[in-house]
């Protein structure tokens, strides 16, 4: 049951992290309603509240919330597979974009992944998602290759990877 306790134990991962009036901490189940809303507003293939809850409950999953007061400004979810962290999805609410918060929550996720003993981060990004590709490139991520027709609507994915080595 320690894995379940750890889903609420910010201090185990060096959280919360603060950036001005924004705070990153472990995402609580009650925040999943806001995550589901942001998924619906921002993704062609959104995750429902119930799917998000199933993911959140898995021991391998970490969700982080970036908040201003009680309001969810951004989130990121990832899963651990062996030495690898794999992004489920991340989103910054439209009103909060281009303020460095996408980078900030990804860096917080890197920190948590390192504390979980993980060695690299990876994910699949739509080829049309110039914003995410640019942000990750500025964080030092590499484009490994293109996966044809990865997404349900037939769009290709760029497989991207960010090393966590040397961050301990
Ligand atoms: C991609 C996303 C997470 C970026 O979040 P953000 O908080 O706006 O990103 P940052 O402010 O940290 O931006 C860092 C850099 O990324 C690049 N960038 C971010 N948004 C960009 C855009 N719309 N166009 C071009 N470059 C962009 C810029 O170089 C930016 O630096 P700058 O603002 O100094 O020019 C956000 O646009 C988003 O949530 N999009 C919808 C959901 C999504 O696509 N998620 C990723 C796939 S799971």
pLDDT at 18: 97
DSSP 123: E
Percent of the chain topping pLDDT 90: 96
In the reported structure, the alpha carbon of residue 21 is separated from the centroid of ligand 1 by a whole-number distance in angstroms of 20
Q: CA-CA distance, 43 to 60, in Å (whole number)?
A: 23
Going by pLDDT thresholds of 50, 70 and 90, the confidence category of residue 168 is low
Q: Which residues line ligand 1 (CB under 6 A)?
A: 42, 89-92, 97-103, 125, 129-132, 134-135, 138
pLDDT at 2: 86
pLDDT tens, position by position, 68-84: 999 999 999 999 999 99
How much is the pTM? 0.97
| Tokens describing residue 10 | 């910010």
Going by pLDDT thresholds of 50, 70 and 90, the confidence category of residue 166 is confident
State the Cα angle at 63 between 161 and 28, rounded to 5°.
170
**Which residue has the least CA distance to atom 4 on ligand 1?**
102
Q: Among 104, 135, 159, which residue has the most ligand 1 atoms within 8 Å of its CB, making it the best to mutate?
A: 135
The CATH code of domain 2-163 reads 3.40.630.30
In the chain, what are the domain boundaries? 2-163
| Tokens describing residue 93 | 């609410």
Q: Which long-range contacts (CB under 8 A, 24 or more apart) does 25-30 make?
A: 25/64, 25/65, 25/67, 26/62, 26/63, 26/64, 26/65, 27/56, 27/63, 27/64, 27/65, 27/75, 27/77, 28/65, 29/53, 29/56
């Amino acid at each position: 049951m320690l894995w379940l306790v750890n889903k609420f134990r910010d201090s185990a991962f060096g959280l919360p992290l603060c950036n001005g009036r924004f705070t990153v901490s472990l995402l609580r189940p009650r925040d999943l309603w806001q995550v589901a809303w942001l998924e619906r507003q921002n993704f062609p293939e959104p995750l429902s509240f119930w799917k998000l809850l199933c993911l959140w409950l898995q021991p391998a999953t970490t969700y982080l919330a970036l908040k201003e007061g009680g309001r969810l400004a951004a989130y990121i979810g990832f899963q651990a597979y062996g030495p690898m962290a794999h992004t489920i999805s991340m989103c910054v609410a439209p009103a909060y974009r281009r303020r460095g918060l996408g980078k900030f929550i990804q860096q917080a996720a890197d920190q948590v992944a390192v504390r979980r003993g993980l060695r690299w981060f990876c994910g699949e990004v739509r080829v049309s998602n110039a914003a995410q590709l640019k942000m990750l490139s500025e964080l030092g991520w590499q484009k490994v290759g293109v996966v044809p027709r990865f997404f349900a609507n037939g769009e290709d994915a760029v497989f991207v990877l960010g090393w966590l080595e040397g961050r301990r």
